[in-house]
Structure 1
Amino acid sequence: MKELHSNNPKALILRQKMQFAMSGFRDRMGFHDFDPKDFEVVPVRVTIPELDSVFNDYRIVHISDIHMGQWISSKRIKGVVSLVNQQKPDLVAITGDSVSYLADEPVLDMLRSLEGLKPHDATISVMGNHDHWMGAAKIRKVMDESGIVDLENDVYTLKRGDASLHIAGVDSVTLNQHDLGQVLHRMPEEGPAILLAHEPDFADTSAATGRFSLQLSGHSHGGQVVIPGFGTPFRGSNFKKYPLGMYRVGDMLQYTNRGLGTNVFWFRINCPPEITVLKLHN
């Protein structure tokens, strides 16, 4: 597949310089240590009526928007991996933007820390717009070497005896790399399905198919700023409607994770980094 890059090279170079400078400042000042109190573990109960009882209490730990090398340092990502493993996941789902504006060797080394994830079944991921801007091929290579399954418009089927649960993924909607038709073509007719899509507003499209019980997304960072009683005032392309938390879209549930990292501005207000623990029930 053709490599995609930012359509504004000057802006990208400026942000790369900002990331490099801010990362250096972070490390010189010692602001890179992992503190579990910085992260919120959010339990979510998800009811899927079609789910076979053998999958009751199936546990999916969902993380997103790591943006390696910005606020997320080497120490922080290793701490996150440990915190995820403490949740005893059956499956780990990563919904894109694992890198930000740099994908040099130090950042790729941080990405390799994800090989420490220890779910019962698998760690699966989809790409986000930043992953493509920084070179999806090399990021996929590191993910593959780390034992992570990339769902590039594909389907991963979990089996328990005769029962099935399908986990599907679409590539970046922002960069028009998604192919939902291919996903549906590859999807077995029997068994409930969950879709990973980096961009949450894609839920309007996926819900309309009637094939998915749940979509998991990121992209928004929850807006990074949340005003109590109002929500986030910061909404952008593909996260205007579903910026954070749970929504019902037709007959499908949409869950938008607030992400782990930050982008450009390294702060959050009332919007802590999130590790979501979804327990499935029928």
Structure 2
Amino acid sequence: MLRFLVPIILILILELYTFFSIRALTSNKFILIGYWIVTFVIYGIIFYQMNVAEREGRFSISLGYTIAMALTFLIPKLFILAILFVEDIFRFFTSLFNYFQHNGMTVSEAIPSRRKFLSQLALGIAAIPFAGFIYGVFQGRYNYKVIKHTMFFDDLPEAFDGYKLTQISDIHSGSFDNREKIEYAVDLINEQKSDLILFTGDIVNAVAEEMNPWIDTFKRLEATDGLFSILGNHDYGYYAYEDQKDIEENHKKIEKVHEAIGFDLLLNDKRTIEKNGQKLNILGVENWGASRHFPKKGSLREASKDVADGEFNILMSHDPSHFDYKEMEVRTKEREDPAVITDEPNIINFEKKIQLTLAGHTHGMQFGIEIPFLNLKWSPAKYRYPRWAGLYEEAGKYLYVNRGFGVLAFPGRVGIWPEITVIELKKRNKIA
């Protein structure tokens, strides 16, 4: 019971401050009573859905919309609290000054009234994130952006100069609820007319069956030299099952889903594309990341065992922390669970050169700010994943982190839009 006490107190403070801001603007009893009626109804829905989710032990679309309702309802009120709480600090000291400065003044007379302007300001500022969340749920999650990059490499085989890759990641089909929008996105991918389509994991939220209604839609994907895919942390069934037999059965179903769509699923393996006697390798590892909370099945060594020196390699690895994690940091942070420590190398220090790594996983937390012409890019995701979206380079090796195709938990996107990445490979012309 004690663990619920602090959240209840915080929620009560939020609601009281919001109510005070409304009351400063109007004394209409119908509006004030209506506010509390709506508040109690919304909290009732939230708590009911949370209890249902806890009993079922599995994510559902209705739970996703409940999370969206909670965020939309609560986050804007934090702005109201911040503004009015600062005002109350000034009101408190002003009250003390008035009370001791003026003899005979009562306590109620000493307390200055709340300024109407600040209540208006607080509600106006709160309306911005409120509108943002509403837009994010109904429009932002389907605001697909095609982001194009041209990348130059000294060691790219000449036969692949101008070769085009389309990357998608984090489909999360268990969150889909609009077939028309998803079909539009698939058509948008095909419009890129790429040589390869590379999918970097998380085709479902928890179980393979989530993808069944969408197989016919995604099997329309086309690329000249094929479609390749890997698994993400959500594709193993660990979020739905505890019994090993169920997990293995789900894994078999996931493999069949990839096959039905036309994806060539790479499980610590590689495929080679040949043109004019020259080669380009596509490597795919199973999920591997620095966090102990996600499955660690990836093996760079296994995937690249047949790779010769000097070959050009593109790696698909779902979790971007695979790119540069530091073993000692992992050991220090997770020493209580030695089972998660492996000798898997990070990509930067791997003995075989991986020119380009494609990842996903972060979704950019589906919330943030990106203004390209101001070079402004921020999301809370950066505090968990320093490389959370876009293109990064270190030690002559590149990592691209896709912002994701679908959504998870919160059924929307605010400022971080769903992404279709198109990368054109170019041979850098050396000047003698």
TM value normalised by structure 2: 0.56
* 1:211-247 Cα distance to aligned partner (Å, 9 max, x none): 10010000000221113535111357xx612100011
The RMSD of aligned alpha carbons is 2.8
CA distance in 1, matches of 2:182, 2:321: 27
Number of residues of Structure 1 aligned to a counterpart in Structure 2: 264
Q: Which one of the candidate residues 348, 353, 357 is aligned to 1:211?
A: 353
Q: Which one of the candidate residues 222, 231, 253 is aligned to 2:364?
A: 222
Give the secondary structure class of the aligned counterpart of 2:393: strand
Q: 1:12 to 1:44 in 2, by over 3 A?
A: farther
* 1:19 matched to 2:46: no
* 1:145 matched to 2:255: no
* 1:196 matched to 2:316: yes
Query: Is the CA contact (8 Å cut-off) linking 2:196 and 2:223 kept in structure 1?
Result: yes
CA distance in 1, matches of 2:261, 2:414: 33
* 1:231 matched to 2:335: no
Letter in 1 for 2:348: A
CA distance in 2, matches of 1:101, 1:20: 15
Partner of 2:193: 88
Q: Which one of the candidate residues 304, 325, 331 is aligned to 1:184?
A: 304
Quote the offset at 1:274 in angstroms: 0.3
Partner of 2:183: 78
Query: Is the CA contact (8 Å cut-off) linking 2:211 and 2:257 kept in structure 1?
Result: no
Query: Is the CA contact (8 Å cut-off) linking 2:201 and 2:231 kept in structure 1?
Result: yes
Query: Is the CA contact (8 Å cut-off) linking 1:223 and 1:235 kept in structure 2?
Result: no
* 1:7-37 Cα distance to aligned partner (Å, 9 max, x none): xxx8694442x325658xxxxxxxx999997
Give the secondary structure class of the aligned counterpart of 1:85: helix
Query: Is the CA contact (8 Å cut-off) linking 1:88 and 1:119 kept in structure 2?
Result: yes
* 1:271 matched to 2:416: yes
- Bigger shift: 34-43 or 134-143? 34-43
Report the identity percentage.
28
- Bigger proportion of residues as helix: 2
Partner of 2:206: 101
Q: 1:76 to 1:188 in 2, by over 3 A?
A: farther
Give the secondary structure class of the aligned counterpart of 1:116: coil
Q: Which one of the candidate residues 215, 220, 233 is aligned to 1:116?
A: 220
CA distance in 2, matches of 1:22, 1:231: 24
Letter in 2 for 1:224: Q
Letter in 2 for 1:137: K
Query: Is the CA contact (8 Å cut-off) linking 2:138 and 2:412 kept in structure 1?
Result: no
Quote the offset at 1:206 in angstroms: 1.0
Partner of 2:144: 39
Letter in 1 for 2:381: F
Quote the offset at 1:191 in angstroms: 1.9
Q: 1:271 to 1:36 in 2, by over 3 A?
A: closer
Partner of 1:48: 153
Give the secondary structure class of the aligned counterpart of 2:228: strand
* 1:130 matched to 2:130: no
CA distance in 2, matches of 1:36, 1:157: 35
Query: Is the CA contact (8 Å cut-off) linking 2:142 and 2:181 kept in structure 1?
Result: no
Give the secondary structure class of the aligned counterpart of 1:185: coil
Quote the offset at 1:136 in angstroms: 2.7
Q: 1:51 to 1:70 in 2, by over 3 A?
A: same
* 1:49-85 Cα distance to aligned partner (Å, 9 max, x none): 1111211111100000011031464333322221111
Partner of 1:175: 295
Letter in 1 for 2:313: A
Query: Is the CA contact (8 Å cut-off) linking 1:98 and 1:111 kept in structure 2?
Result: no
Give the secondary structure class of the aligned counterpart of 1:41: strand
Query: Is the CA contact (8 Å cut-off) linking 1:36 and 1:83 kept in structure 2?
Result: no
CA distance in 2, matches of 1:266, 1:220: 15
TM value normalised by structure 1: 0.84
Partner of 1:26: none
Q: Which one of the candidate residues 140, 145, 162 is aligned to 1:57?
A: 162
Q: Tell me which stretches of 4 or more aligned residues in structure 1 moved more than 6 Å.
A: 32-37
CA distance in 2, matches of 1:43, 1:93: 15
CA distance in 2, matches of 1:101, 1:225: 22
* 1:154 matched to 2:154: no
For structure 2, which runs of at least 5 residues remain unmatched after alignment?
A: 1-52, 66-136, 241-249, 289-293, 325-345, 371-375, 428-432
Greater RCO (Cα-Cα under 8 Å, separation 6 or more): 1
CA distance in 2, matches of 1:165, 1:49: 14
Partner of 1:245: 390
Give the secondary structure class of the aligned counterpart of 2:348: helix
Is the radius of gyration larger for structure 1 or structure 2? 2
